[in-house]
Amino acid sequence: MPQLIEFLKNLIYSDDFRDQNKKNEKDFKRNRLLPFQRLIFFLLNMNNSSYQAELDNFYKTLFHQEIAERVIYKGNLSKARAKLKYDAFVDLNDHMIDFFYRNFDFQTWYGFNLLAIDGSTTRVPDEEQIIKHFGVWHSKKGEKPCPKARVSQLFDVLNKITIDAIISPKKEGEIELAAFHCLKLEKRDLILLDRGYPAYWLFKLILAQGAQFCARISYKKWNVVKRFYESGKPENVVKLHASALSKKKCKELEYDVHPLEVRLIRVELDSGETEILVTSLTDMDAFPKELFANLYHLRWPIEEDYKTAKYRVQIENFSGKTIHSVYQDFHAKMFSKNLTAVIATTTRDDIIKKSETLKYVHQINFAQALSLMKDTVILLFERCKDSIAGYVESIRDIFIKTTEGIRPNRKFPRRHRVKQKRFHLTLKTTT
C-alpha cells in the first residue's frame, strides 16, 4: 500500500502530469501558497463545508496548527482551481486502478473480474450556466424543475472499486454512457447489467473487448426471450438477432450483425417472480445454471455504492458555481472514495481472521472509513516517504477495528420515495 501512495505522489509531482492537466502553458509557473500539487491534495480532501472553512482546516492540518490561521482566501482558491483540468482526477484514478490490478491481491469470480455498470442522476447547483449544460428534471407534481446531471460507473462489485465514472448532461442515455465504460474492458472481465441495458449492439461491443456479460432481460421486448419464458425450460442456448437500431449502431461501430449465440437462464425468485438472465457464458459444464441466481445479485454493491457516494461522500455537495467545478468535485470525490476502498481491500484477510471469534462474518464499516480519510489524505501525500508506511498501517489498524457484522438472509424492500438531502452553497456546514 505505501508503494501505491508513493507512486501516485510521484505522478502528481511530475512535470508531465502538471503540464497535461493545467489549462494554459503559463499556469502554475510561480511558487505560490496553493501550487498545482497542493491544489490537487486540497480537492481530494472530500470537502463539504464552505470554501474558507475547508481552506483554514487544510492548512491547520498541513502545518500542524492547534488553531487554524487564515493562510489564503477563498478568492485565491477560485482562481487556482480555474486553471486545473478536471481530467487530472480521472488520470489519477486510471493510474491507481492499473496499479491495483497489477500489484494487489484482489477477489475474482471463477477467474473473472466481476464488474457492473449502472447509472443514476445527481443534483447539481441551481445556476443558470449549470442548468443549461446539464439539464433539469421535471417533477410530476408541478414543482420547480430540479437541476440534475446523469452519472454512470463501471464498478468492481467484489473489491468495491469504481474503475470508471462519468458525469454528463442528463440528456445522455444510460446505455450510451455504458458504451464509454465498455471501452475500458479487458479480457477476463465479466459485466453484470440490469434489465435496462440489454441491446444487441452493446453485447457486441462487450465481446469485441474480449469481455463477457450476464444481464437481466425483459421477455416482453424480445421475441426469442418470450418464447423461452413461455416454454418453461430452465435454460437454453439461442440466437439473438439485431434490431433495426442495433444494426445502425453496429454499422457506426463497424461490427457485423451476425446472430449472437447466447444462453438464457430462468431464475425463480422467492417473491414468486420469474427472472430471465442472458449471458455469453454458454458452456453449461464450466458454468452450471445454479451459479447464476447468486451471480446476478452480486451486482447489488453498485447500488449501495451510489448511496455511499451521495450520502457519505456527498458528491451532490458541490463547492463551486461553475460547470468546471462540478466536474472537478465529482471526479475528485470519486477518486478519494476509491482510494479508501483500495486501502480497505488490504484488510480483508485480517478481518476474516477476526471474524473467526465472532458470531457473524464482519466487514469494514465504510462510512467510518470515509470519515477517517478526511484530512488523512493530506498527511498521506504531503509527508515524506519514510512516514507513509506508518500512516497507512495506522489507517489499516483502525479499519480492522471498525467493522460491522454481516447478518445473513436480511432483506430490505427498495424505498422508491426517499427525501433527498439538499446542499445550498450559501448555507454550507461549518464543521
For residues 265 and 276, give the distance between their C-alpha atoms in angstroms, rounded to a whole number: 6
Does the structure show a pLDDT above 90 at 424? no
Mention every residue, 6+ apart, whose C-beta is less than 8 A from residue 425.
125, 318, 321
Residue ranges of domains in the chain:
108-302
Tell me whether strands 161-169 and 189-193 are parallel, antiparallel or unpaired. unpaired
Q: Which helix (H) or strand (E) holds 131?
A: helix 128-134
DSSP letter for each residue of 244-287:
HHHHHHHHHHT---PPEEEEEEEEE-TTS-EEEEEES---TTTS
For residues 96 and 84, give the distance between their C-alpha atoms in angstroms, rounded to a whole number: 20
- Per-residue pLDDT band for 52 (boundaries 50, 70, 90) equals confident
pLDDT at 16 (0 to 100)? 94
Q: What is the pLDDT of residues 348-385, one digit of tens each?
A: 888 888 877 777 777 888 888 888 888 888 888 876 66
Q: What is the pLDDT of residues 63-118, one digit of tens each?
A: 777 787 788 888 888 888 899 999 999 999 999 999 999 999 999 999 999 999 99
Tell which residue, 235, 204, 242, 240, has the closest CA to residue 224. 240
pLDDT at 45 (0 to 100)? 87
- Per-residue pLDDT band for 413 (boundaries 50, 70, 90) equals low
User: What DSSP character marks residue 143?
Assistant: P
Which whole number is the average pLDDT over 306-330?
92
- Per-residue pLDDT band for 264 (boundaries 50, 70, 90) equals very high
Q: Higher confidence at residue 429 or residue 163? A: 163
Tell which residue, 213, 165, 174, has the closest CA to residue 197. 174
pLDDT at 430 (0 to 100)? 45
Which whole number is the average pLDDT over 145-152?
93
User: What DSSP character marks residue 22?
Assistant: B
Does the structure show a pLDDT above 90 at 26? no
Identify the bridge partners of residue 153 per DSSP, sorted by sequence position.
Answer: 118, 165
**Is 0.85 surpassed by the pTM of this model?**
yes
Q: Higher confidence at residue 386 or residue 312? A: 312
Place of cell 510521484: 10
